[in-house]
A and B are shown apart, each in its own frame.
Chain A
Amino acid sequence: MKGRYATAVLLLAVLVADPARGAQAPTRAVTESQVHEVAAELRCVVCQNLSVADSPSEMARQMRAIVRERLEAGESPARVIQYFVDRYGEWILLSPRRSGFTLLVWLAPLAAVAIGFAIVSTLVWRWTRRPASASTPPRVDPAMRERIRRETETEP
């Protein structure tokens, strides 16, 4: 009974086991640019604003090696990226996903530009529509006009 249980567990472990982990020999050739493409999507965890592709750090070098190994084992680029997301969260992605909450990051700038454009065009429309009377010179009453005339004439 115990033996059967152990066999079942072992069988399950084999079925569930990560294909990349067990793979020793590469099953397909992967170019440097394919590795770069995936690594450029990932944030270097020990750097400030650098991708795994661009960082010279030891950690990034090891992560590139992991990317290469998983690609060689036959994983799709999307699955390799998911492997990192599962461990680090979506924080690891240099460009946030275009879905859920992070969709806001993509839409907010567009919304801001649209709102700004609406405000500017409304203001411009208002300013250009202002009545012409506003530009006519201010009225001067006859007494003031007389005083100005007198003062300018007495100037030498």
Chain B
Amino acid sequence: MSRRAWRWLIPASALPVLALLAYGFRVNPREIPSPLVGRPAPSFTLTAFDGAPVTLEAQRGRVVVVNFWASWCYPACYDEAPVLERSWRAYRDRGVVVIGVDIQDTTEAAKNFVRDFGLTFPNARDPSGKVSVDYGTYGVPETFFIDRRGRIRAKHVGALTDGVVRVHVDALLAEPAG
């Protein structure tokens, strides 16, 4: 090979590596797309802190917001708890249900959390972690927006804001029922 070709070959060989690095540094390693978006939401039956059964199946025909949280998850879960309560009160008459799933927590601490924030939507502990694994959660808080047909349509990682809830819930409410 000629000298001239060699001179170009070495910097050229670095290009794919640089391109890979450029791509790698741009993506957020914490935002891994969930393979569950677009698929039927895994069913679950849990017992709420007040003793009532909480099942996803019973909510078919409604837009469901499933939120995974824990009492030790500070500050994100503390920030979004009032948002969830507000959203639940604002949307409950329009066919929207909020379900809180408490993971990797103690019943005592979780009950205090529910009481302190005055949460009135159904909240249940996932003692075995099966529900959280079924939903492919990495940590808390994570929130799934489920349409009336029971399909997961969006996943939000991190604390919710009123805006995030509104965007997803309004979009799902706008879809024709059934």
Contacts and interface: CB of A to CB of B under 8 A. Distances in A.
Interface of A: 45-46, 58-59, 62-63, 65-66, 84-89, 91, 115
B33 A66 contact: no
B139 interface: yes
B136 interface: yes
Given A58-B104, A59-B104, A115-B13, A88 B130 contact: no
Interface string B11-26: 0010000000000000
Which 5 A-B pairs rank lowest in CB-CB distance, beginning with the nearest?
A62-B129, A87-B136, A45-B138, A88-B136, A58-B104
A87 B35 contact: yes
A90 to B, nearest CB: 9
B69 interface: no
A62 B138 CA distance: 13
A143 to B, nearest CB: 36
B88 to A, nearest CB: 26
A10 to B, nearest CB: 12
Interface in B121-143: 128-130, 132-139
B139 A88 contact: no
A87 B104 contact: no
Determine chain B's interface SS by DSSP, over half rule.
Answer: loop
B69 to A, nearest CB: 14
Nearest to A63: B133
B129 A88 contact: no
B32 interface: yes
Interface residues of B, number: 18
A14 B33 CA distance: 30
Interface in B39-90: none
Contacts of A58: 104, 129
Nearest to B1: A122
Contacts of B161: none
A65 B32 contact: no
B36 interface: yes
B34 interface: yes
Given A46-B139, A115-B13, A62 B133 contact: yes
Nearest to A66: B133
21 contacts: A45-B137, A45-B138, A45-B139, A58-B104, A59-B104, A59-B132, A62-B130, A63-B133, A65-B128, A66-B128, A66-B130, A66-B133, A87-B133, A87-B135, A88-B35, A88-B136, A88-B138, A89-B32, A89-B33, A89-B35, A115-B13
Given A58-B104, A59-B132, 14 more contacts: A46-B138, A62-B132, A62-B133, A66-B130, A85-B35, A87-B36, A87-B133, A88-B32, A88-B35, A88-B138, A89-B32, A89-B34, A89-B35, A89-B136
